[in-house]
Amino acid sequence: MTAPLKIEKDETLPLRTHYEEAARDTLRAIWHRKLLIATILVAALMLASGALVLMGPRFTGEAMIQLSFSREEPSTGPKSQPIAALDAASIVDSAARIIRSRETASAVVTRLALDKDPIFARQSLAWRVLAKLRSAFRLGHVIPSDHDLAVSALMRRVTVTNDPRSYLISVAVTTSDPERAARLANTVALEYLRGRLLQQLTETSAAAERELAELSSVYGTRHPNYLSGRTRLERLQARVSALREGTLTEDVAKLVVGQSLLPAEKVMVPSGPNIVAILALSGAAALCAGIWLALLLERGVIGRRRLASETARGQEGVMRDAASDADKPMKFGPTASAGRRYARRGKRCRETLSLGVSAIGGR
């Protein structure tokens, strides 16, 4: 077994003194470079402020869709029964996925002609630079259409959230114009509800066709029941055609069974960007960068001074050794060649000393 390590109290004092000296040196270096740190901080805050001015305020329009899991059957009197045997939370999640799907965004772009808007039908700067580089190297690249660019831009601006407990789906769109944000949010929600209504009308029309075929086989084509069923089928088909080609209105939401719409309204209060958070993060990053640069510069200056002082001390030692060797008596008597050699050595030592002294003064 190993013996426990015993540390005396006196042995902890040099370590504590070392850390205290390191902290004092750090604070001294920061204070010595305070102008540099302040300059970096002010420059970062000015850049962040300029970016906020160029970015401008952002406004969010939010539409709500509420799902209901019951329907009324007017044929036997109004009564309620469940319309799905699936879990309600999974149905809400599926509806949210349909809303945030690319198909819904594509229908909105086509209806509002967003592919002709330069704000939406514009490729990012990074992709434009990459496309030019690939063209310069004669590499193949795919040029996306304006419709695809507008769909991708709209999907980035749309935020769909759902709450399974309350069966609510939130459709939020953020733009620089509050009126446009509300219009886009309502269009996305109405486009989803239009798809649901089309599905319901298509199912009803298919059921009416089957019922009409049964009436024709039983009563013939001249029976009043057959004629009323045919009129109902034609009316359903006309509604389907009008819904596919007509304009979207809030009346569409009233015809959808099991779902209701709370339309978005224009909100003049900006939802972003968070000015305080952006300035705080920019200031903190600039402060850290300034302190790091100040410590780096101070460490370089201290290292150069230490190197110069060590070089000077070494040169002084060489000169002293040369002088002591010159003062020693020669064993075989002085000669002219030995005198010239010692004279050259002394001259080199004096030149080296003068260079070291000038280097110390320059630092």
Q: Determine which helix (DSSP H) or strand (DSSP E) holds 163, and give its type and residue range.
A: strand 158-163
Query: Residue 64: inside a domain, yes or no?
Result: yes
pLDDT, tens digit (0-9, with 9 covering 90-100), for 77-102: 334 444 445 677 888 888 999 999 99
The contacts of residue 145 (CB under 8 Å, 6+ apart) are: 115
Residues 204 and 321 in one domain: no
Residues 227 and 251 in one domain: yes
Residue 332's pLDDT is 44
Residues 50 and 62 in one domain: no
Residues 116 and 206 in one domain: yes
Q: Determine which helix (DSSP H) or strand (DSSP E) holds 15, and give its type and residue range.
A: helix 9-32
Residues 35 and 66 in one domain: no
Query: Residue 330: inside a domain, yes or no?
Result: no
Number of domains in the chain: 3
Residues 42 and 109 in one domain: no
List the structure tokens of 32. Answer: 């010595």
Residue 343's pLDDT is 61
Residues 250 and 205 in one domain: yes
Its domain, for residue 44, covers: 21-56+274-291
Residue 288's pLDDT is 92
Residues 25 and 87 in one domain: no
Q: What angle do CA 57, 59, 65 make, to 5 degrees?
A: 165
Q: Find how far residue 39's CA is from the centre of its chain.
A: 28
Residue 330's pLDDT is 47
Query: Residue 253: inside a domain, yes or no?
Result: yes
Residue 314's pLDDT is 59
Average pLDDT of the residues of the chain: 78
Residue 45's pLDDT is 92
Per-residue buried b or exposed e for 203-225, using 16+ beta carbons within 10 Å of the residue's own CB: ebbeebeeebeebbeeeeeeeee
Residues 155 and 245 in one domain: yes
Strands 71-72 and 80-81: antiparallel
Query: Residue 252: inside a domain, yes or no?
Result: yes
Query: Residue 239: inside a domain, yes or no?
Result: yes
Residues 200 and 286 in one domain: no
Query: Residue 269: inside a domain, yes or no?
Result: no
Query: Residue 5: inside a domain, yes or no?
Result: no
Give the amino acid at 194: R
φ, ψ of residue 8 in degrees (nearest 5): -75, 160
Residue 77's pLDDT is 37
Show the low-confidence residues of the chain (pLDDT under 50).
1, 7, 9, 73-84, 330-336, 357, 360, 363
Residues 31 and 135 sit within 8 Å (Cβ to Cβ): no
Query: Residue 3: inside a domain, yes or no?
Result: no
Residues 326 and 348 sit within 8 Å (Cβ to Cβ): no
The span from the CA of 46 to the CA of 58, in Å, is: 21
Residue 156's pLDDT is 92
Residues 27 and 124 in one domain: no
Residues 94 and 171 in one domain: yes
List the structure tokens of 100. Answer: 């945030």
